[in-house]
Structure 1
């Protein structure tokens, strides 16, 4: 007979969700000293913050550029933490009118850190308002319409803008030039990811061996966010199976979640197999490829392609996407022309 459960034995969904949020917060470093990787960027940021503290002024505006998952949001939080200032979070897609930005800027307190994620997706009218705000801490509010419209200047409290973008090339030059410091975040090496995963495992209470750490790191696509996500799935697998996160457990868990030895997931393989099998290795255009795999073209271009190109499985040419020799070899697919005519051609 199974034991009866007392009310205290049942964990409510709300409590479980709050626990997961707490875990996510605990995984984020709270200082530049705790932040793993990006050594050059950390040194540059530390110098910028220290100089501002010595001069008793707000730090210069900061632009963080790089692929998703490398720590841009975490660095913005660290800037606020290290300067002991409040942090305001928003995103470019949420600012679709100049009035939206004016409401945010006018409510800032002196020295506050404003973080705008995906800043390249802001509305153009808001971008133009931001120019003056960043440079002179002032915005102009238009009152009225037509010939009777007047501009009323509104002074702002000094603030530090931290902008994050995955596509720095889409930012207009006037906006990019107003940032006092631009940091370009790079993908992580396996050794750095091992340190990230080891720290996260300690915080999550996961017992994991050295070989298992390297296995997760090598499949994380050079991205700490993916490394932490894979660690959580390994933790779940080990919890259900009733054991530690050994190398065999890691391999079994990642196989279950369709993450192969190179870190390719379901969508990566769908893109590559489509190019190899349906289009005989390419070239194939982006829109055609997107329709073939049933995915948005922007997702393929911004998420899938950069990784496949970086590890040498795919090449981008003026005529379209082309599989490389390494791509053919990894998937073990024979080119149709070779199968038909042999290697004499």
Structure 2
């Protein structure tokens, strides 16, 4: 099956979104500058090639197969979940499975209703329109999208004031595929217009090992199964991080040996890049250290933690905390952040009596 035609829409005059403070790039699940080309060759081209997310794949296969059998465009699809789990890849696969073109844009680029109208008017019948980070779409554009999704038409306002007129514009049937990392920020009317909603889950080590092995084969990197499992176990359950770590391990192996990645090379590279056995980086460990050694395990406010590690509160709250909470090392309470027994043990310290998560024998 050949690659689908992809078009990215860039709205003139749209300001780029403000950048978040950066975590260690090796374990930041968001796409990094210049990483698109590296990821492009690693993306699977079909549902059969896609690793992980078995429930989403089976449900989506039913949706697409049913639409093809009836000869209609599939329902609109909403993909939600943390960054790096394959939402954009899944949108490309949907277009590939339907044998149609993929048109790509993002929520922050749609600042005005006219931006969306210009984009919708260029769609052909059966096209797949992909809007990334749709929760950040401007309200006027969102309200125009309601009618486009339901009735495949929009009303274009021409002129201003008393002389303004509304011109109805019919749209060809299309499928909207939207991605969001914050489904709770979507408005009810927008969420309800999607016929199929999929929640992308974090990957387990077994599936991530398959991701690393597949990527190594595509990149022509020789790798041991033990080394692939080591990389997978430190990838925070995220394929994008796994692929990124593989490329850094490949660099290490090429510089320090013959380029073959064995367990020793994988561990050596991950040590150089400050990614420990639990997938924590320097900033993660600094937060735990400030919480435990600096404040006795908490409770501590996020602003105090941010000052202690020299970062912005938003960095600690949006970049570090989600993984530390998921790993069971930090608990968020009304009084502040508390370190669990697992966090004390990760730093090689004995948790005091009464620590959250400490087993009593």
Q: Structure 2 length normalisation: TM-score?
A: 0.84
Residue number in structure 2 paired with 1:68: 83
Partner residue of 1:341? Answer: none
C-alpha distance in structure 1 between counterparts of 2:50 and 2:352, whole Å: 49
* 8 Å CA contact retained: 2:330, 2:343: yes
2:110 matched to 1:99?
no
Q: Per-residue deviation at 1:109?
A: 1.3
For 1:292 and 1:105, locate their aligned partners in 2 and report how far apart those are by CA, in whole Å: 48
For residues 296 and 113 of structure 1, do their structure 2 counterparts lie closer, same or farther at Cα, with a shift above 3 Å needed? farther
Aligned residues: 320
Q: What is the match of residue 3 of structure 1? A: none
CA distance 1:79–1:296, change in 2 (3 Å): farther
* Residue 240 in structure 1 maps to residue 255 in structure 2: yes
Rounded to whole Å, the distance in 2 between the matches of 1:266 and 1:194 is: 24
- For 1:110 and 1:65, locate their aligned partners in 2 and report how far apart those are by CA, in whole Å: 26
Runs of 4+ residues over 6 Å off in structure 1: 334-338
Tell me whether 1:332 sits opposite 2:348 in the alignment: yes
**d(CA) in 2 for partners of 1:20, 1:326:** 33
Q: CA deviation at 1:285?
A: 2.6
Q: Which residue of 2 aligns with 1:39?
A: 54
SS at match of 1:245: coil
For 2:296 and 2:35, the matched residues in 1 are separated by: 45
Gaps of 5+ in 1: 1-18, 339-345
Partner of 1:305: 321
**SS of residue matched to 1:164:** strand
1:59-96 Cα distance to aligned partner (Å, 9 max, x none)? 11000001111100000000000001101111111111
Structure 2: where are the runs of 5+ without partners?
1-33, 355-361
1:233-292 superposed Cα distances (whole Å, 9 cap, x missing partner): 000000111231111110010000000000001221222222223333222233443344
Task: Give matches, 1:125-144, under 5 Å.
Answer: 125-144=140-159
Which position in structure 1 is the counterpart of 2:297?
281
Q: Which moved more, 1:292-301 or 1:191-200?
A: 292-301
2:189 to 174, 177, 183: 174
For the pair shown, the structure with the greater C-alpha radius of gyration is: 1
Structure 1 distance, partners of 2:317, 2:118, is 34
More helix as a share of residues? 1
| Whole-Å separation in 2 of the counterparts to 1:22 and 1:122 | 26
1:83 corresponds, among 95, 98, 103, to 98
Partner of 2:278: 262
- Please give the per-residue CA displacement for 1:189-240, whole angstroms capped at 9, x wherever unaligned: 1000111101001111111111111111110111100000000000000011
Structure 1 residue matching 2:206: 3-state secondary structure: helix
If asked which structure has higher relative contact order (CA below 8 Å, sep 6+), I would say 2
Question: What SS does structure 2 have at the residue aligned with 1:37?
Answer: coil
The C-alpha deviation readout for 1:273-315, integer Å capped at 9, x for no partner, is 2222333322223344334434344443333212111111001
Q: Which moved more, 1:206-215 or 1:300-309?
A: 300-309
Q: How does 1:146-165 map to 2 (within 5 A)?
A: 146-165=161-180
